[in-house]
Structure 1
Amino acid sequence: MDVKKRHNIRKEIKVGLVFFCLVLIAGCGRDEVTIEQLDYESEQVVGVTFTTAMNVEQLRVFVGEESQTSVIGVIVSQNGQHSFSPVIPFTPGQTYTLRKNNTEVLASFTIPELEGIEEVALLAIYPQLDTVPENLLKMYFEFEAPMQEVGNALDFIRVTNETDGMEIAPFLRLESELWNKDRTLLTLWLDPGRIKTDLIPNREKGLPLRAGKTYTVAIDSSWKSSRGVRLKKGYTQRYYVNERDDQKPKLDQWHIERHKDAFQSLEIDFGEPMDAFLALETIRFYDKNKQRIDGRMNLRANQSRLHFVPDSLWTGTEVEIRVESRLEDLAGNNLERRFDRPVLEGESAIDSPKVLSMKYKLTQ
């Protein structure tokens, strides 16, 4: 091979290497993402603006550095810039990442904490009593402010079997959590599949809670409100688990008493603790003309008594108390059926709503 030919081969190799390096550098540059700014509206961060040369259809926004919780939103591109707008404003104090193909982190940004806002309190954990049945169905968590909409509530709640010294997972994990419209009240179900004795989860795993044991429910103080404010502190609720409750509430055994106070209030004794929020939703009072009597209701005596104070003094000699049949005790037994019951062939598993009534003479 002559010198000229060898020179040409070397020249071609050099040109090829230079081209390969340029392609590699260009490829690396295409995968770069630069955060330009956070977009604000009424003190809330409602978007993030970024630049990149890559195809933005490959990008997704995730909560945190490692979680698989993606943020739902849209990307709008204009004049070489791209803006991601989440369906729900970003949470103050939370870090988010932009990832390629859902895995490779290309950029991250943290939403600034809001200043001058006091910490949020957990107002109550229900049931508000220290002993619950083995087949307890639901728990409620009431907050003084709307809570964040990222992640899962169960990431901040820990349940420990104190008797055996082990952490357990009794709650049913749902994709769409059960919050009220203000996002201040969370309902958690203990796994119904493990409570119903004729289902496979019950036979394989047993009940979420066991009679004779003590459990602690702990709430992590890192849980934040929708404005990024942490809880004031961690909270705990301790329960001793009693025997199973497989009896439905008996309306005809309720005891009604009239108080001789300034408002002549009434008190219903259920004879057992009832579901705190269903009791307030399902019981109403009416006069002899079928007109509803407005007033204030609250639960007493470990959720086993309902105290009703009318807005005005009673008229007439009789009051009608109407109760929706969906009212439940702590084990989910309602006024019509037990929760743990077999569904017979041709029978609906869902109760048809009914309104039951009882009358009380005010002259008693």
Structure 2
Amino acid sequence: MISTSTPVALKAILNWRASALLLALPLISSAATLVTPSGPAVPENLLRIVLHLDAPLKAPLEMRHVLLSDADGVPIDGAFLDLPLAGRDGKSLTLLLHPGRIKTGVGPNLKVGPALHAGQSVVLRIDDPQLGRMVEKRWQVQPPLRQAITPQQWTLQAVKRGSRTPLRVVFPTALDADAAPLLALQGPGGTRVAGTARLAAGETEWRFTPAQAWRAGSYVLRVHPQLEDPQGNRLCSAFEQAGQSAQQCDDEGRREFIID
């Protein structure tokens, strides 16, 4: 059984056209494996979409191959920055939605408004021949999420001492796809609990399987200051907050619980 207590102290796309492009793609092995956020819905202020690859692309992704459209196939103009960012190993590509359209009260937001609107359905399509197939992902757009990440809002599911049942930490909204190693468990005696961690349920759950059976005692879920969600919200500030990009998050998040 788990009981929680007060904490101690304490990281940004037409149907007929898609079919035609799909037929035109060469039959090579697919490099694309997953698009995140992988769940069915995203907030209106979504900042980052990440394409996860089996292997690095041989040439940079060109944004002319990326289309974001509404449910009727109408393109959403100017949704992205023309700046796809490759991960260090080349096996991920981050597509940045225009941040100036996301932050309320700034020039692009005032002039053309946000790219996404709560209540609409949107479709991302990527037809780069390097991927071997059309990549497509659909989302329902929900109201914006403009608040810092708050571990006290997370739900910890009960585990029993003596078992190796995975600890499930459920978030109210999805975190970045690379968030799993940014959470760690401190066990009784203050040492780190060995085990394996992964995200699940559209990046809304952290599941940790201990290497050894759970022991009774006090535990602390420790959250790295670099943790972000796909909207750019962090532990220390929301993306919407003025000057947040220059603010450095130094303090970790903490969540205490007890296994009886």
TM-score range, shorter-chain basis? 0.7 to 0.9
Structure 2: how far apart are the matches of 1:185 and 1:155?
18
**Is the aligned partner of 1:142 residue 2:52?**
yes
Corresponding position of 2:114: 207
1:171: which partner in 2? 80
Q: Distance in 1 between matches of 2:218 and 2:211?
A: 16
Deviation at 1:131, TM superposition (A): 1.4
The verdict on how the C-alpha distance between 1:340 and 1:234 changes in structure 2, with shifts beyond 3 A counting, is: same
Q: How does 1:73-222 map to 2 (within 5 A)?
A: 119-150=29-60, 152-163=61-72, 165-174=74-83, 177-222=84-129
The letter of the residue matching 1:213 is Q
When you count strand as a share of all residues, which structure comes out higher? Answer: 1
| Compared CA separation, residues 281 and 202, structure 1 to 2 (3 A) | farther
CA contact (8 A) 1:161 1:168 kept: no
Which letter maps to 1:349?
A
Aligned-pair Cα RMSD in Å:
2.5
Once residues 146 and 164 of structure 1 are traced to their aligned partners in structure 2, the CA distance between those partners, rounded to angstroms, is 29
Aligned counterparts of 2:104 and 2:73: Cα–Cα separation in 1 = 23
In the alignment, the residues of structure 2 paired with residue 196 and residue 208 of structure 1 have an alpha-carbon distance, to the nearest angstrom, of 11
Q: Is the alpha carbon distance of 1:358 and 1:340 closer, same or farther for their aligned partners in structure 2, counting shifts above 3 Å?
A: same
Shift of 1:296: 1.7
Q: Distance in 1 between matches of 2:90 and 2:32?
A: 13
Instruction: Give the drift of 1:163.
Output: 4.2
CA contact (8 A) 1:323 1:355 kept: yes
Larger Rg: 1
Which digits, 9 at most, give the CA deviation of each residue in 1:61-114, with x for residues without a partner?
A: xxxxxxxxxxxxxxxxxxxxxxxxxxxxxxxxxxxxxxxxxxxxxxxxxxxxxx
Q: Which amino acid aligns with 1:361?
A: I
Residues 1:166 and 1:361: Cα distance change in structure 2 (over 3 Å): same
Going from structure 1 to structure 2, the CA distance change for 1:167 and 1:256 (only over 3 Å counts) comes to closer
Do 2:236 and 2:249's aligned partners in 1 also have CA atoms closer than 8 Å?
Answer: no
- Say if 2:32 and 2:53, in contact at 8 Å, map to a contact too: yes
| Preserved CA contact (<8 Å) 2:159 2:259 | no
What TM-score, normalized by structure 1, do the two folds share?
0.58
Q: Within 5 Å, which residues of 2 pair with 1:267-306? A: 267-277=168-178, 279-306=179-206
The alpha carbon displacement at 1:143 in A equals 0.9
Residue 259 of structure 2 aligns with an amino acid whose one-letter code is L
Query: Cα distance, 1:183 vs. partner?
Result: 0.6
Q: Please give the per-residue CA displacement for 1:244-284, whole angstroms capped at 9, x wherever unaligned.
A: 2223332222221234595232111122222222x214211
Aligned residues: 234
CA contact (8 A) 2:71 2:123 kept: yes
> 1:267 is matched by which residue type in structure 2?
R
1:145/1:262 Cα in 2 relative to 1: closer, same or farther (>3 Å)? farther
2: CA distance between counterparts of 1:281 and 1:178?
21
Match of 1:361 in 2: 258
Aligned twin of 1:49: none
Alpha-carbon distance in structure 1 between the residues aligned to 2:76 and 2:220: 47
Runs of 4 or more off by more than 6 Å in structure 1?
none
Deviations 1:297-345 (A, max 9, x none): 22223322111112222345222211023323332222221111223xx
After superposition, give the CA deviation of every residue in 1:223-254 in whole Å (9 maximum; x if it has no partner).
Answer: x2xxxxxx332121111211122233322222
* Per-residue Cα deviation, 1:120-145 (whole angstroms, up to 9, x for no partner): 33110001112111101111100111
Identity value in percent:
27
Letter in 2 for 1:337: S
1:338 aligns with 2:238: yes
The 8 Å contact of residues 120 and 145 in structure 1, kept in 2 or not, is answered as: no
- Give the residue type in structure 2 aligned to 1:323: V
| 1:292 Cα deviation from its structure 2 partner | 2.2
Find the residue that maps to 1:326 and give its secondary structure.
coil
